[in-house]
């Protein structure tokens, strides 16, 4: 797989069979199956039917082919707010002089957590600048922060809903498991077909992969609020809304922040994969480095990602732990 | 006396379909039988009692007897399965959610065994909690009221602390201040002092009594400890397996326990604080001199001599206590030609009917005669001799062993 099969993602029809024709490498399972001879059922090897007894792959292919034209307009609308927020962050980060950005971000880190972390942020960002990954890093930060923003906006209400209904949990939990375990490559292509390749699709892919921790830990945090505090709050006459805002959410905050932290880390871990659908930034540096066998540029991109991860992790971890 | 809260035929069944268990209860099946049959737990069974305005009403019972369930049905933290809970003649069990919220905001508040203070709020914010929820007082006023409530429980210095910086006793004072801050008519206290050390606990009981003396609220106090119940309760209800088996004043319950369960509470109880002078006062062994028109000094002397007594207790025709006379004082009066009134001793050592017997011992031991016990309305109730006091105190140690 040293070639770059995603180089031409703009062609939507690649989804139908992008990996066809690999059979001469002995990769039989990737071979085109159209020339198979008719098979008889064998009880010893009951599932040895080409294409499966239930042709899931074909079903998915045709379902997506049918759905994309219908759904595309809808997803173009969904893309609007994402695009808008993303542009806001990116413009702010890219068009502001680097020195100013470094000072503001370090100051923010100091204010949100500790002086030590503030200084760490300063050093980290300077390193990113010195190795020549500044612009890419700003693009990546904008992308990750935008994803985080939408993860929180989506995840918090869902988490609250789950905390109130066991049935909702039993329905949503398998979906969350699937979102976290399904390899991103599987939904990369449908997402691209729906949103067109680019940053917005990158944010969407990142959201899918990174939103589960916010949902899970919001649910967990609210459920962990001691029963006697809930009872006391009710005894003093809280409305359901006051109970949520004045008792449950504040007390769940450390747990929710742990979820935010995880979401942020997962978001960063997606940047390389997202770069495969034409998302610029540090991830693209890594991908290009691999593609061109240029270890140097891949290392610069990789180091940039690691530095950002450490900085963002420390800041969010601290917000969670010092809150009353 | 005005009835503040009236509990009428209240049932609580925990389980999937509580209403289905009600007929089984009516058939007289026990809590265990119903659990075996349906898997549902009877928490409270047909409870009926009235709580008067301004009294401390203690609900007492062993763990699992349904006390917490009962008190939570008063503010509907637990929904009654059947029955009425009338607060000022309005049925709480039938109220709309909004009306119920108004009751909780303004009329009833609660103190919890676990304190249940909000860990993310300062002491001041905790105490303001109820007023904040109601949102109908200006912030200035809220803070002022919170501070005054904290002042009353002696915690004004800690307004800006967080609960986890305070000791258990202090935390519960905050809990008390939080409950008082909304100025409720009714205060519900579920084992409010049970988690505290014995010393702090007594201190808190005194504090509660002091606060209660200042503004007469209706307090429903849950306890599993008879000493506590007797100490602070005006009346006590005793619960056994979800049933209210007896309601009465501490004296009633101690002197006439309805069953062995109730009796069992008194084992190990400090009788000297529970029993009072009137419980042990005796009429026998004393010589009563009825001050009728025809009873003169001479016949009085004769009466004492006949009974071989040194002292006599003088009452009037309606049993009102007048004083004590001795053989000597009668003789002196006779010699002077003055009447019976002049023979009354200056210090008749009278004892108030409600004095706990623990406080009597010294007085009785020093008195030259057995002190008379006099009711509030002046009626003579009997005397307490040294031997009676000792016997009463001995009853306690006897039951303990
Ligand atoms: N939420 C509940 N679900 C089921 N059973 C309960 C519940 N709450 C209390 N009970 C049962 O009701 C009975 C009374 O409990 P409770 O009122 O807590 O007693 P107490 O406060 O006197 O110790 C117990 O048998 C208890 O197991
Ligand atoms: Mg209890």
Rounded to the nearest angstrom, the minimum Cα separation between A152 and chain B is 22
Q: Work out the number of other CB atoms within 10 angstroms of the CB of residue B257.
A: 18
How high is the pLDDT of residue B30? Answer: 85
Beta strands in B3-144 (DSSP E): 3-14, 41-52, 56-61, 82-87, 90-91, 108-111
- CATH code of the domain made up of B278-396: 3.10.580.10
Q: Which among B116, B130, B178 is the nearest to A229, CB-wise?
A: B116
Q: Look at B77 and A235 and tell me if their CB atoms are within 8 Å.
A: yes
Q: Which residue has the higher pLDDT, A121 or B273?
A: A121
Q: Is the pLDDT of residue A185 over 90?
A: no
The domains of chain B are located at 3-107+184-269, 278-396
Higher pLDDT pick, A140 / A196: A140
Nearest CA in chain A to B118: A229
Q: What is the pLDDT of residue B72?
A: 96
Q: Report how far residue A292's alpha carbon sits from residue B151's, in angstroms, rounded to the nearest whole number.
A: 75
Do the chains contact at B105 and A246, CB–CB below 8 Å? no
What string of H, E and C letters represents the secondary structure of A175-232? HHHHHHHCCHHHHHHHHHHHHCCCHHHHHHHHHHHHHHHHHHHHHHHHHCCCHHHHHH
Rounded Cα distance, B61 and B278, in Å: 26
**B311, B325 in Cβ contact below 8 A?**
yes
**Which DSSP symbol is given to B371?**
P
pLDDT value, residue B294: 59
> Structure tokens of B160?
């800006």
Our CA angle for A172, A177, A178, nearest 5°, is 95
Chain B, 212 to 241: residues with Cβ < 8 Å from chain A are none
Contacts of A226 in chain B (CB under 8 A): 116
**Pair B55, B61: CB distance under 8 Å:** no
The answer to whether A224 and A255 have CB atoms below 8 angstroms apart is yes
Put simply, whether B102 touches A (Cβ < 8 Å) is yes
CB contact under 8 A, A231 and B112: yes
> The complex's ipTM?
0.74
Confidence of residue A71 (pLDDT cuts 50, 70, 90): confident
Contact status, residue A235 vs residue B104, Cβ threshold 8 Å? yes
Across A30-53, average pLDDT: 67
Whether the predicted pLDDT of A7 surpasses 50: no
Task: Looking at mean pLDDT, say which of A190-194, A207-211, B213-217 comes out highest.
Answer: A207-211
Residue A290 has pLDDT above 70, yes or no: yes
CATH (residue range B3-107+184-269):
3.40.50.300
pLDDT for A29 beyond 60: no
Chain B contact present for A236, CB below 8 A: yes
Report the alpha-carbon distance of residue B395 to residue B385 in Å, rounded: 16
Which two tokens mark A251?
């007390």
For residues B12 and B71, give the distance between their C-alpha atoms in angstroms, rounded to a whole number: 12
B79 CA to centre of ligand 2 in angstroms: 16
Counting ligand 1 atoms within 8 A of each CB, the residue from B25, B33, B64, B112 with the most, and so the one to mutate, is B64
pLDDT at A5: 46
Task: Choose which CATH entry (1.20.1180.10, 1.10.3720.10, 3.40.640.10, 3.90.1150.10) describes domain A71-322.
Answer: 1.10.3720.10
**pLDDT band at residue A70, thresholds of 50, 70 and 90?**
confident
**pLDDT of res. B51:** 96
Across the 401 residues of chain B, what is the mean pLDDT of every consecutive 10-residue run? 93 91 87 88 94 95 92 95 94 94 95 95 95 91 93 90 93 94 95 90 91 91 90 93 92 85 73 75 74 72 83 85 88 83 86 84 84 89 84 59 38
What is the rounded CA–CA span in Å between residue A295 and residue A261? 30
pLDDT over 90 at A119, yes or no: yes
Residue A298 predicted with pLDDT over 80: yes
In this predicted structure, the answer to whether residue A322 has a pLDDT above a threshold of 70 is: no
pLDDT value at residue A24: 47
* Mean pLDDT of all residues in A261-283: 92
Give the SS3 label for residue B359. helix
Cα B80 to Cα B10: distance, rounded to the nearest angstrom? 7
> In DSSP terms, which residues pair with B20 in a beta bridge?
none
Ligand 1 atom showing the smallest separation from residue B78 Cα? 1
Phi, psi of B266 (to 5 degrees): -85, -10
Q: How many CB pairs under 8 A join A and B?
A: 58
Check whether A23 has a pLDDT greater than 50: no
Provide the 8-state DSSP code for A36: P
**All structural domains of chain A with their residue ranges:** 1-53, 71-322
| pLDDT score recorded for residue B396 | 55
- Residue B322 in 3-state DSSP? strand
Determine the pLDDT at residue A28: 54
pTM value > 0.80: no
pLDDT given at position A49: 73
């Amino acid at each position: 797989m040293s070639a770059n099969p995603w180089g031409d993602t703009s062609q939507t029809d690649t989804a139908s069979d992008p990996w066809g024709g690999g059979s001469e490498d002995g990769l039989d399972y990737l071979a085109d199956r159209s020339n198979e001879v008719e098979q008889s059922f064998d009880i010893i090897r009951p599932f040895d039917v080409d294409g499966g007894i239930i042709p899931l792959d074909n079903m998915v292919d045709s379902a997506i082919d049918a759905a994309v034209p219908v759904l595309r307009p809808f997803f173009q609308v969904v893309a609007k707010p994402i695009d808008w927020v993303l542009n806001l962050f990116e413009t702010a980060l890219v068009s502001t002089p680097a020195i100013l950005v470094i000072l503001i971000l370090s100051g923010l880190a100091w204010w949100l957590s500790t002086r030590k972390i503030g200084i760490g942020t300063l050093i980290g960002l300077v390193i990113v600048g010195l190795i020549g990954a500044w612009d890419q890093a700003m693009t990546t930060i904008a992308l990750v922060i935008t994803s985080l923003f939408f993860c929180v906006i989506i995840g918090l209400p869902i988490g609250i809903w789950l905390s109130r209904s066991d049935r909702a949990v039993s329905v949503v939990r398998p979906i969350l498991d699937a979102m976290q375990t399904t390899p991103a490559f599987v939904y990369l292509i449908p997402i691209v077909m729906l949103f067109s390749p680019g940053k917005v699709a990158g944010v969407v892919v990142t959201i899918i992969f990174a939103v589960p921790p916010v949902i899970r830990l919001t649910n967990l945090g609210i459920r962990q609020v001691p029963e006697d505090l809930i009872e006391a709050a009710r005894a003093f006459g809280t409305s359901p809304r006051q109970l949520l805002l004045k008792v449950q959410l504040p007390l769940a905050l450390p747990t929710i922040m742990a979820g935010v932290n995880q979401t942020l880390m997962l978001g960063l871990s997606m940047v390389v994969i997202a770069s495969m659908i034409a998302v610029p930034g540090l991830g693209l540096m890594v991908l290009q480095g691999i593609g061109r066998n240029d270890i140097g540029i891949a290392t610069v991109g990789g180091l940039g990602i690691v530095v950002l991860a450490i900085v963002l992790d420390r800041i969010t971890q601290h917000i969670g732990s010092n809150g009353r | 006396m005005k009835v503040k809260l009236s509990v009428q035929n209240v049932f609580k069944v925990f389980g999937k379909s509580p209403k289905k268990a009600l007929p089984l209860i009516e058939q007289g099946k026990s809590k265990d039988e119903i659990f075996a049959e349906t898997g549902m737990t009877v928490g409270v069974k047909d409870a009926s009692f009235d709580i008067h305005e301004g009294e401390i009403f203690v609900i007492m019972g062993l763990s699992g007897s349904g006390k917490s369930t009962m008190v939570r049905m008063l503010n509907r933290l637990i929904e009654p399965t059947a029955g009425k809970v009338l607060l000022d003649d309005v049925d709480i069990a039938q109220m709309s959610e909004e009306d119920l919220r108004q009751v909780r905001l303004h009329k009833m508040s609660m103190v919890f065994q676990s304190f249940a203070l909000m860990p993310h709020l300062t002491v001041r914010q905790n105490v303001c909690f109820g007023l904040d929820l109601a949102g109908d007082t200006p912030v200035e006023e809220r803070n002022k009221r919170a501070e005054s409530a904290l002042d009353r429980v002696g915690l004004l210095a800690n307004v800006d602390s967080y609960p986890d910086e305070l000791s258990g006793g202090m935390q519960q004072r905050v809990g008390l201040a939080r409950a008082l801050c909304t100025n409720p008519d009714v205060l519900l206290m579920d084992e409010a002092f049970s988690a505290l050390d014995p010393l702090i606990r007594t201190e808190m009981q005194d504090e509660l009594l002091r606060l209660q003396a200042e503004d007469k609220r209706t307090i429903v106090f849950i306890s599993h400890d008879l000493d506590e119940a007797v100490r602070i309760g005006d009346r006590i209800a005793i619960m056994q397996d979800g049933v209210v088996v007896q309601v009465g004043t501490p004296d009633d319950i101690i002197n006439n326990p309805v069953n062995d369960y109730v009796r069992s509470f008194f084992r190990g109880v400090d009788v000297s604080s529970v029993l009072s002078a009137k419980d042990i006062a005796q009429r026998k062994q004393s010589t009563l001199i009825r001050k009728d028109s025809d009873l003169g000094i001479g016949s009085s002397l004769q009466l004492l001599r006949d009974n071989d007594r040194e002292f006599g207790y003088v009452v009037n025709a309606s049993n009102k206590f007048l004083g004590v006379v001795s053989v000597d004082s009668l003789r002196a009066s006779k010699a002077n030609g003055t009447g019976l009134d002049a023979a009354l001793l200056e210090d008749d050592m009278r004892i108030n009917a409600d004095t706990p017997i623990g406080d009597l011992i010294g007085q009785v031991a020093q008195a030259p005669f057995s002190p008379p016990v006099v009711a509030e309305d002046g009626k003579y109730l009997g005397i307490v001799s040294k031997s009676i006091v000792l016997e009463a105190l001995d009853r306690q140690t006897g039951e303990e062993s």
